[in-house]
Amino acid sequence: AQKVTQAQTEISVVEKEDVTLDCVYETRDTTYYLFWYKQPPSGELVFLIRRNSFDEQNEISGRYSWNFQKSTSSFNFTITASQVVDSAVYFCALSIPNRDDKIIFGKGTRLHILP
């Protein structure tokens, strides 16, 4: 069975600090996709990144970066120089292609950026 664990329920940091959101996943499949989504107070999910299991390169997009390590089954997300607008709930998720394509979400981490 597949599972995504986000151990940090809630994090608060002061603006401009860096913050890392942890994600650990479980699957026996060798081919899978990992995702990060942002859910602001409006509720709409914002897609941030998708990474397939064969691509372990780290990704950087502006202030956002992702560290994928298959050896520890982790896909961590770091926000550098955080801003108040980064306040949201962040979900890590997993899907298995060519099976049912269901996206399995972690429980989410609520991030508060304090001014």
The strand pairing partners of 34, in sequence order, are 51, 94
Q: Which residues would be at the binding site for another protein (CB under 8 A)? A: 33, 37, 42-45, 47, 50, 91, 95, 97, 100-108, 110
- Kindly give, in sequence order, each residue whose CB lies less than 8 Å from that of residue 62, ignoring residues fewer than 6 positions away: none
Least Å distance between CB 32 and another protein? 11
Closest to another protein by CB, 70 vs 102, is 102
- d(CA 86, CA 33) in angstroms, rounded, equals 24
Closest to another protein by CB, 42 vs 61, is 42
Least Å distance between CB 80 and another protein? 25
CB 79 within 8 A of CB 19: yes
Closest to another protein by CB, 44 vs 71, is 44
